[in-house]
Amino acid sequence: QSALTQPASVSGSPGQSITISCTGTSSDVGSYNLVSWYQQYPGKAPKLMIYEGSKRPSGVSNRFSGSKSGNTASLTISGLQTEDEADYYCCSYAGSSTLVFGGGTKLTVL
């Protein structure tokens, strides 16, 4: 299984919106609406932000939203805040009871 493809870095100013893409294949992202997104601060464990492509767990800000088109899933963060600066990882079900993560994207809030 190859890692899902994410941009290495994205940046934005406070108040702006950014989108992080996550490109897989027809064997993972394209076949299932089972993409999740995780936020990770340096030295900390990942935190679930989005599941089933677009659902937010309780407690996650509605500034975070997810979508999918074809083999590409996307995470959008609107109204950027300095506290959003972190690494973000997508993850998809890849069939046969396996998961695959993306390469990770470093978000910088300028």
Of 52, 70, 79, 81, the residue at the interface with another protein (CB under 8 A) is 52
**Binding of another protein at residue 26 (CB under 8 A)?**
no
52 within 8 A of 13, measured Cβ to Cβ = no
Of 34, 56, 63, 76, the residue at the interface with another protein (CB under 8 A) is 34
The alpha carbon dihedral of 48, 52, 54, 59 has a sign of: negative
Q: How far is the CB of 14 from another protein (least distance, A)?
A: 27
Site size toward another protein, by CB under 8 A: 26
Strand partners, 9: 106
Quick one: 100 or 107, whose CB is closer to another protein?
A: 100
